[in-house]
Amino acid sequence: MQRRADQGWVEVISGPMFSGKSEELIRKVTRYNLARVPTQIFKPAIDIRYAVGEVVSHSRLSIAAEPVEDSMTLLKSVEDRTVVVGIDEGQFFDNGLVDVVTRLAAAGKKVIVAGLDMDYLGRPFEPIPSLMLKAEYVTRTLAVCHRCGGPGLFTQRVVESDELVVLGATDTYEARCRRCYDPTEAQQGRLDLESVSE
């Protein structure tokens, strides 16, 4: 039988943008670092908004992170001695991340994944929803609605684009509550402009 301390598990931190997912990931991994438990943090290579080799929160907390191309590269980059594996921006990984995280937990790793659970249209943003089902622990973080101060559950894109992934922060997205969230808002801006130019 495995010793208790060898037991792996999966934790997911999910919510909209600005809800403190990266902050919470940084806080949790830092605790293990302070106790000299070997950790590694990964992020998708696509996310180079602030820094290539770091996870940086909107409140400017940061921690070293290894950019990886996909879930299989992540799996291969985890060292034997590593006990805690942190993953930020999990929604930018392929669906293979679910299997990779499951394998890491089976191998005794404590895996903490942060990521968006909904896209800007309020649809499930895989692989985070699937990961939540396979996780022992799920923390769902809320932001403050940029419009009214209510519970920010949604990520509203405030510029007009049909792309699923538009990287950006404060000028591109806002956290919105149930009442203020309107995925058609940026499109309405475009329609207004079109009618003005006619």
- Which residue lies nearer to ligand ADP by CB, 8 or 125? 125
Instruction: Provide the binding-site residues for Zn ion, judged by CB under 5 A.
Output: 145, 147-148, 150, 177, 180
* Binder of residue 101, out of Mg ion, Zn ion, ligand ADP, none (CB less than 5 to 8 A by kind): none
Q: Please choose, from the candidates 185, 146, 192, the residue with its C-alpha nearest in 3D space to the C-alpha of residue 16.
A: 146
Q: Does 118 bind ligand ADP (CB under 6 A)?
A: no
Q: Does 155 bind Mg ion (CB under 5 A)?
A: no
In the complex, the smallest distance separating the C-beta of residue 88 from Mg ion, rounded to whole angstroms, is 6
Q: In the set 14, 22, 39, 141, which binds Mg ion (CB under 5 A)? A: 22
Q: Does 41 bind ligand ADP (CB under 6 A)?
A: no
18-26, 37-45, 73-81, 181-189 -> range binding ligand ADP (CB under 6 A): 18-26
- Say if CB 2 and CB 103 are below 8 A apart: no
Q: Is 89 in the active site? A: yes
* Binder of residue 143, out of ligand ADP, Mg ion, Zn ion, none (CB less than 5 to 8 A by kind): ligand ADP
Residue 85 phi/psi, 5° resolution? -110, 115
Q: In the set 8, 10, 23, 154, which binds ligand ADP (CB under 6 A)? A: 23
Rounded CA separation 190/160 (Å): 7
Q: Give 1's contacts (C-beta < 8 A, 6+ positions apart).
A: none
Q: Does 146 bind ligand ADP (CB under 6 A)?
A: yes
Q: Does 147 bind ligand ADP (CB under 6 A)?
A: no
For ligand ADP, the binding residues (CB under 6 A) are: 15, 17-23, 57-59, 143-144, 146, 152, 175
List active site positions: 89
